[in-house]
Every structure is written in structure tokens, then in C-alpha cells.
Chains A and B, each alone.
Chain A
């Protein structure tokens, strides 16, 4: 149970937190879902270049209503824009950038992450539907830093940070940092290290919502984002 005094982060606040770690000059791929929201929260004055798997380097924000360009879509097939300095590449080069270690950060959604940094984010093995992998497996192997944004628990309140993933793996041992609605956790060779928790959260309460053992970093901080903006 989440302590009653705690206010879990919204999706927008989780995206805000992940965006604070994007550095000046980083080339970044944002996965579909919550990671996409992070583009709006890069601190002002910091120049970050966004990559889209379908062949855009220098992707901009959503277009204003009426300004949509039918030739400009993002990985989620929504309309997008190009920033000054942006360019187009063909698909194989877009994935060369992904796989070849050219991106600084790949920010992904996840169903589950293990204590070793194994990632499961492509299949729930629903037999009623065909599987789809898209760029998930490429994105999980190539970037210099692979980070995940996800709700700390399932809708039923069960842990999604596990000793080992129950869903099929996207890639083994790839995740280095996890942003949840309750905490920021680093995956280290010594295990999971909690570097931030929301106000009111305790290590004991967080541990009860997490399967593998957590350690509290000696220099841990409060995770306190600004009030959620309107989505």
C-alpha cells in the first residue's frame, strides 16, 4: 500500500522528472507513451535533440491545430514538426543511430524491469492478438543510457520491478535508471539503489511495493516535481 500521506506523481510529473536528467547536447529517443511527454519538460535554455525512429533527427513539438503536415509523423504516427537544424534520414540510418551507440539516451516505457535491468516492454502474450515489437528491441540495446519511465505497480497494486521479469524480455540487463510515480531507482552491480522518493514515502513502504531488495542511497533526495501542468 502507498502511505496515505503520499501523493504519487502524475504521468506528466514522471515525464518532468526524466526530462531533468537530459543534458545539453544530448541526442535522445523518446518511446511511445509517457516518455513522449518528456519533450515538453526539458529545462529552458537546454538544447536537446530528439530522434524519431522513422527518420527524423531534430524532431520538434506537436504542430499547432491547422498546421499539421501530412509528411511529418512521429513513431506513434502522430503529426509532428522539425526544428531548425533538423534533418531527415532513411530508416536504416535511423536505426543505425539507435543500435550503434550514437544516441545518448533512450527513454522507454515498460511493463516490467528486473533487478538486473532486464526489460520487458513488447509483449503481454495475449493470444487474441498478433505480437508487435516495432523498434522496442533495437531501442533497448543501442543507446549510451537506457532509462525507463513506468508506474511503480500494476493496476492491481502488484510490483512491476521484479527479481525476474514474467513477460517476454525485450533485452537483458539494459536498464540503468527507473523513474516511477513513487521513486527514482538506479540499477547498479550491487543491486537497486533508491536515489529519490516522493515526500512521505519510506524505504519500508517502497520495499513492500517492490519485489527485489532495495537499498537507500546515502545521498538520497526528495522527489518533488512542480505541480502537474495541464496535459
Chain B
């Protein structure tokens, strides 16, 4: 019998190696797998490359990993969001590297890896500082830059409900990066508010199909701050 549910968040992040690329879903404070980020902190992996939209807030979750010196590089679109002092201090101390990527290009690069493609041409950032050094091509008279696929070793996903196969649903705008990141990592780990029986999820309403999911842990309902 397939059962992807694990008992604890520690079980969920077991085996994450030093130097891993970790996809951290969420937009601001909404749809972030905070429990899994805490568990990764306890687990102790170092030299991490983090892919996220923002750079963490306060001293919890991603910000706590940065404050503890676990993060070597952040790939994000907008680090300057909310109280991002953890990132700012590390950035100024040059103890971590920032790769700034336009927001839609981050998710499309991950989808590209998930789809088994070798990259894509996009007009976004063409002719700008963020396009410097990228291969270019004129397509139908418009300048495009080449974007490589982006792969995670691990994805930390926040969903609402799961069944034992790992089919997932989300809540409202907490969906954000979660379905894309869930498809783009070798090991996809999900924290959920609750489990349901196999067959209980409306097949028309499943957003992330089980094929993308490796481990599920129940953490109870998410409490999020509205502003981050």
C-alpha cells in the first residue's frame, strides 16, 4: 500500500544534504512551509542554495536559516520585503550570494525543468542589466534572452489537504509557488493542514497530482501573518 505520510517534520526533511538547492514556496508569509523550514534548521544541512520569491522575515523560517549561517546563496526576485534584516545583514557582510531573477522567470525556469526542457527564450530582461551575459536571439523581430531550467534537490511545500498518495489541494492565494515547486525537485516534501481518505478529494479539484509528491506530514492549520 502506498503511503507517503511520515510521522514528524524531522522525518520529512531527513537526508537533506549539505550544498542542496532548496525550493521554498510561498509569497510573503502566505503559503510558506514554516514547520518544514524549522525542521530543516534542526536537521542541520549547510551551504544551502535557497530558491524563493522573498528572503524571509524576522528570525523564523528562511530568515532563521540565514541567521544561522546555513545559506550560501539566495535565488529570488524581491529580497526587500517586510523585516528582511536577516538577509540584509548577511548580504552586507557578503556571507551569502544573491541571484536576482525576475519573478515570473523563476517559476518558468522551474516549470521548464519539471517539463524536461533545456531552457527557453524570453523577452523579459532583454536589454537590461539583468539580461547581461545571457545568450540572445531575435525572435519575430523581438530580442529574447535564454533562460536555463532551474532544478531543486528538495522542495518545501505548504498545502491544505493531502491523501496517502500525495494528491494535494491548496487554499486561495496560498497556492502561489507551491504547485510549480512541487514539480521541480528530486525530493518534494509537503506539510499539510490535514489528511483525507484516498478518494475523498474531488479529482477535478486536485491541483498537485501525487506523482510529484514524495513525503507528506500533518502540521495542523497554518497561522499566517497578513503582512510580511
A positions within 8 Å CB-CB of B:
52-56, 68-73, 77-79, 82, 88-92, 94-96, 98-99, 123, 129-138, 141, 168-172
Interface string of B206-228 (1 = CB under 8 A from A): 01000000000000001111111
A136 to B110, CA, bound (A): 19
Known contacts A88-B172, A99-B104; decide if A71 and B224 are in contact (CB<8 Å). Answer: yes
Instruction: Let me know if B27 is at the binding interface, CB within 8 A.
Output: yes
Instruction: Let me know if B201 is at the binding interface, CB within 8 A.
Output: no
Contact of B87 among A53, A71, A130 (CB under 8 A): A130
Q: Smallest Cβ distance from B50 to chain A, in angstroms?
A: 14
- A and B contact pairs by CB, cutoff 8 A, 12 listed: A55-B27, A70-B223, A70-B225, A71-B224, A73-B226, A77-B82, A99-B122, A123-B129, A134-B77, A135-B103, A141-B123, A141-B126
Contact between B110 and A92, CB atoms less than 8 A apart: yes
Contact of A129 among B80, B178, B222 (CB under 8 A): B80
* Chain A neighbourhood of B108, CB < 8 A: 92, 95-96
Closest residue of A by beta carbon distance from B122: A99
Contact of B27 among A73, A78, A130, A169 (CB under 8 A): A73
Contact between B180 and A130, CB atoms less than 8 A apart: no
Known contacts A69-B172, A133-B100; decide if A79 and B226 are in contact (CB<8 Å). Answer: yes
B positions within 8 Å CB-CB of A:
27-30, 53, 77-82, 87-88, 91, 98, 100-105, 107-108, 110-111, 122-130, 170-180, 207, 222-228
Q: Smallest Cβ distance from B22 to chain A, in angstroms?
A: 17
A78 to B174, CA, bound (A): 13
Known contacts A91-B180, A95-B104; decide if A54 and B88 are in contact (CB<8 Å). Answer: no
* Chain B neighbourhood of A136, CB < 8 A: 102
* Chain B neighbourhood of A77, CB < 8 A: 27-30, 81-82, 226-228
Contact of B102 among A68, A72, A135 (CB under 8 A): A135
Closest residue of B by beta carbon distance from A119: B128
Contact between B129 and A168, CB atoms less than 8 A apart: yes
Contact between B173 and A73, CB atoms less than 8 A apart: yes
* Chain B neighbourhood of A88, CB < 8 A: 170, 172-173, 175
Contact between B226 and A90, CB atoms less than 8 A apart: no
Closest residue of A by beta carbon distance from B125: A137
> Sorted from nearest, which 8 A-B pairs have the closest CB atoms?
A95-B104, A138-B104, A77-B28, A71-B172, A134-B78, A90-B179, A92-B107, A137-B102
Contact between B128 and A137, CB atoms less than 8 A apart: yes
Known contacts A73-B27, A168-B128; decide if A132 and B171 are in contact (CB<8 Å). Answer: no
* Chain B neighbourhood of A133, CB < 8 A: 77-78, 100-103, 130
* Chain B neighbourhood of A68, CB < 8 A: 226
Contact between A56 and B124, CB atoms less than 8 A apart: no
Contact between A91 and B128, CB atoms less than 8 A apart: no
Contact between A171 and B103, CB atoms less than 8 A apart: no
Q: Smallest Cβ distance from A204 to chain B, in angstroms?
A: 34
Known contacts A77-B28, A133-B78; decide if A82 and B88 are in contact (CB<8 Å). Answer: no
A196 to B102, CA, bound (A): 34
